[in-house]
Structure 1
Amino acid sequence: MVIRTMIPSMAALAILVLAGCNNASAGAQSGAMDRLSAYDTIDACLYRNPAATDRTACIGEYAQACEQLAAEGETTAGMLACRGDEYEAWDRWLNESYRDLRESLSDESVVALREAQRSWIAHRDQDCLFLASLYAGGTLERVEQASCLTRKTAERAIELLHWHADYPPF
């Protein structure tokens, strides 16, 4: 119980240090506490949740807090900005995980991984286009596509992060 109270909830952490949708420099100018970027927010969440199954809880955490805290967060433009920031952060995690995995593989496996990744990207993009099409012409079309790209990219990043543990003999 004592340990639990020492670890701040995401909402409290977000209020203190969340990247307010790219306003860290404004905070620095006004003397306010600098805020974490989406990448650093995800990093903190992944650190708190070391198991792959627990890490899926990190997906959407930044965007949700950003939407609640940013002045324009609950508008379509605000949602897109928050989700876009989170997508970019997860894409960075994906690229880093891919690079780290690639460095541990044989040349033959690197080629196979590259082809698998290219196929995965095409599949992800088509799935997200389909889901967005369910809202064709509506304000949620772009929001759904951004959410889908973020979710699928995050899931793949987590999968690649845990490849060594989940797929021996690495």
Structure 2
Amino acid sequence: MTRYLLPAIALAILMITGASQAQEITTEDEIQMQQCIETVHDIQSSGEDVSLSECIGAASRVCMDAPGGMTTVGMTSCTMRENAWWDQYLNFLYQDLKDTRTKEEFALLRDAQRAWITFRDSDCSFTYEVWKEGTIRSNMYASCVLDKTANRAIELAQYVDWSNM
């Protein structure tokens, strides 16, 4: 139980310090992510082998270039803000698959998604615990959640693409 409590405490500290406002997806984040995805799709359509994984970090890097973005709280906030975008995208793809797959297929996806959430949370809690002695722990935890969420969204996007073939 403690392993799940530590990241929750880190998130609570960010909320108290005002970083929670940075978790909201901004218009700039939307533009940055949409441009990245469109660029990847354009490159893919020209026959080059490039993945949407190239877009992981696109919005958070821009955010970190802003004033205060390179502080510990700033970096974590920027990462969490981009994670919110990927999470929203993941949920959109999940809903699309719910609407287009058979009941049996979707039941398997639902079970897999629940297991994946448990894995992501446990794995990132481990990352937080490993770095518990340093101020970087919140950055490491946020980066873990972003990476896993974005990669899961990319996996679901492939299923949506295959469904449309």
> TM-score range, shorter-chain basis?
0.7 to 0.9
Residue 43 of structure 1 deviates from its aligned partner by 1.8
The answer to whether 1:150 aligns with 2:149 is: no
Residue 37 of structure 1 deviates from its aligned partner by 3.2
- Alignment partner, residue 31 of structure 2: 40
| Alpha carbons of structure 1 residues 164 and 85: separation in structure 2 relative to 1, 3 Å | closer
| Alpha carbons of structure 1 residues 22 and 155: separation in structure 2 relative to 1, 3 Å | closer
Q: Which structure: larger Rg?
A: 1
TM-score for the superposition, normalised by structure 2: 0.75
SS in 1 for 2:35: helix
**CA contact 1:39–1:86 (8 Å) conserved in 2:** no
2:51 to 44, 49, 54: 54
Unmatched segments (≥5 aa) in structure 1: 1-20, 25-34
Residue 136 of structure 1 deviates from its aligned partner by 0.7
Identity %: 33
Where relative contact order (Cα < 8 A, 6+ residues apart) is larger, the structure is 2
CA RMSD of aligned residues (A): 2.5
- Alignment partner, residue 117 of structure 2: 121
Distance in 1 (alpha carbons) for counterparts of 2:23 and 2:133: 28
Distance in 2 (alpha carbons) for counterparts of 1:122 and 1:53: 29
- Alignment partner, residue 76 of structure 1: 72
TM-score for the superposition, normalised by structure 1: 0.73
Over 6 Å off, 4+ runs = none
| Alpha carbons of structure 1 residues 53 and 121: separation in structure 2 relative to 1, 3 Å | farther
Unmatched segments (≥5 aa) in structure 2: 1-21
**CA contact 2:90–2:152 (8 Å) conserved in 1:** yes
Residue 137 of structure 1 deviates from its aligned partner by 2.9
